[in-house]
Amino acid sequence: MARWEPDARGRLLHAALDLFAEQGYDATTAAQIAERAGLTKTTLFRQFADKREILFQGQAASVATADAAVRGAPPQAHPLEALRIGLDALAKDHVAEQREIGRRAEAITATSPELQERAAFKRSAISSALAAALAERVEDGVAGVLADIGTRAYYSGFAEWARADGGDLVALVRRHLDDLLRDLRPVLDG
Amino acid sequence: MARWEPDARGRLLHAALDLFAEQGYDATTAAQIAERAGLTKTTLFRQFADKREILFQGQAASVATADAAVRGAPPQAHPLEALRIGLDALAKDHVAEQREIGRRAEAITATSPELQERAAFKRSAISSALAAALAERVEDGVAGVLADIGTRAYYSGFAEWARADGGDLVALVRRHLDDLLRDLRPVLDG
DNA sequence: CATGCTGATGTGACCGAGTGTCATCACGTA
DNA sequence: TACGTGATGACACTCGGTCACATCAGCATG
């Protein structure tokens, strides 16, 4: 038996999702979110570093996931293959329940520059992690570009997964990556 | 004759640069910056949307510059050529005085996650602007990747320009772009 | 010379994010 | 019964940022 209602973070997330949708992000105070979750402002800020972070929890783990997977790829693997392995690991982290959350969070993010800034930061963190891990296999600049391409495939794959009925996120991201590479080659050579 | 000391924004920028370097970003209050610039907190926030923006002024104009230049490229120009034209325009906007400011701002940014977040946002804004303009010439995904590559060349070119004795930023960025493309091709084909 | 308009600034009150300290309280354990 | 532990609440505080209102130099107009 728990002494308090369990899953404080989850309750805060859903309270925030509801309130942001009802009133808008700016008009919602941290105290309101905490109250709806049956907690206080103090506890909210013990769970999350700041108000924005409520919507982006979990993405911190993505950085470690991507880094570990790419570094764990076979040493002789082609850089693109190492990238694929990293993206696979990222995609595997998502379960079906996150589709709905992702959709709602994305809609709210679109209404607030403050949240878009945090989203850009998270994205750049993922790209930087991929780039650093890939830099063990290719020159820095190339590693950066490969990371950019992979991050783009990951995000557009995720967007399609969240939008449509989903299916296999891993396969979707792989397809987005391959499409990107296929379309890119003729332009770079032209 | 001006009624007040001229160049409030410039004075605020230099006051902030000095104070951030002396005390750190977090330990410096907006009121302190305003006071050293001979102004008040209210005026500071009339000049800049928030405390972070003091260090990143001007980068808003970059978005419009990049967008206009790429869209203004000859219709039959190759997408990579349109990208080069956009980067040229971005690079031309910088004068020698910004080298020192850029160096100092970069050092301060490295000490604060809050500032790194804003920097990531600015970078993503530039990349998005390039991507949107390029999307008139190539498919969206490819436009995005080209924009990523161009943004990377722009930033690494700028970093070298700020670090070394400089020289021609336009030429530097072009060289970084060409190097990136040259190194990238064999990896994508491999 | 007087009047009024304009625009950048100052003043002071205010709200909300985020921090820090101390008290509380349910539970496990000696 | 007493004590330790860990998550929570209560409360005060700082600071970023906003807003309404006053001020004041210049300029135009009568």
Q: Do B187 and A79 touch (CB under 8 A)?
A: yes
Tokens describing residue A99:
């589709």
The percentage of chain B sitting over the pLDDT mark of 70, rounded to a whole number, equals: 98
User: Quick one: pLDDT at residue B16?
Assistant: 98
User: Quick one: pLDDT at residue B157?
Assistant: 97
Distance from CA of A121 to the nearest CA of B (A): 5
User: Quick one: pLDDT at residue B1?
Assistant: 47
Contacts of B149 in chain A (CB under 8 A): 145, 148
Return the DSSP state at A33.
H
User: Quick one: pLDDT at residue B2?
Assistant: 59
The whole-number Å distance from A34's CA to D12's C1' is: 19
Mean residue pLDDT across chain B = 95
Those residues whose C-beta lies under 8 Å from the C-beta of residue B157, and which sit 6 or more positions away, are B91, B169, B172, B173, B174, B175, B176, B177
B77 to chain A: nearest residue by CA? Answer: A190
Rounded CA separation B53/B132 (Å): 24
A9 touching chain B per CB within 8 A: no
Instruction: Pick out chain A residues at pLDDT < 70.
Output: 1-2, 166
User: Quick one: pLDDT at residue B24?
Assistant: 98
A120 to chain B: nearest residue by CA? Answer: B121
Q: Do A80 and B141 touch (CB under 8 A)?
A: no
B144 touching chain A per CB within 8 A: yes
Shortest CA to C1' contact from B9: nucleotide: C8
**B63, B121, B155: which to substitute to probe chain A, counting the most A Cβ within 10 Å?**
B121
Tokens describing residue A144:
């950066």
The answer to whether A104 touches A21, Cβ cutoff 8 Å, is yes
Tokens describing residue B133:
């303009």
- The better pLDDT of the pair B163, A33 is held by A33
Give the pLDDT confidence of A119-170 residue by residue, as tens digits.
999 999 999 999 999 999 999 999 999 999 999 999 999 999 998 876 899 9
Closest CA to A51 of A87, A22, A15: A15
The whole-number Å distance from A56's CA to C28's C1' is: 35
The whole-number Å distance from A58's CA to C13's C1' is: 40
User: Quick one: pLDDT at residue A1?
Assistant: 46
User: What is the CB neighbour count within 10 angstroms for residue B61?
Assistant: 11
Rounded CA separation B150/B79 (Å): 11
Those residues whose C-beta lies under 8 Å from the C-beta of residue A8, and which sit 6 or more positions away, are A37, A39, A43, A47
Distance from CA of B168 to the nearest CA of A (A): 21
Give the pLDDT confidence of B6-53 residue by residue, as tens digits.
899 999 999 999 999 999 999 999 999 999 999 999 999 999 999 999
Rounded CA separation A185/B145 (Å): 11
**Which residues of B in 6-65 have their CB below 7 Å from strand D's atoms?**
28-31, 41-42, 45, 49-52
Contacts 24+ apart (CB under 8 A), A90-93: A90/A62, A90/A65, A90/A66, A90/A126, A90/A154, A90/A173, A91/A154, A91/A157, A91/A158, A91/A169, A91/A170, A91/A172, A91/A173, A92/A169, A92/A170, A93/A58, A93/A61, A93/A62, A93/A65
User: Quick one: pLDDT at residue B158?
Assistant: 96
Tokens describing residue A24:
């808008």
pTM above 0.85, yes or no: yes
Give the pLDDT confidence of B167-177 residue by residue, as tens digits.
899 999 999 99
Average pLDDT over residues B91-108: 94
Average pLDDT over residues B157-173: 91
Contacts of B116 in chain A (CB under 8 A): 121
The whole-number Å distance from A41's CA to D9's C1' is: 9
Q: Does B132 have pLDDT greater than 90? A: yes
Q: Do A78 and B117 touch (CB under 8 A)?
A: no
Q: Which of B80, B121, B149 sits opposite A117 (nearest CB)?
A: B121
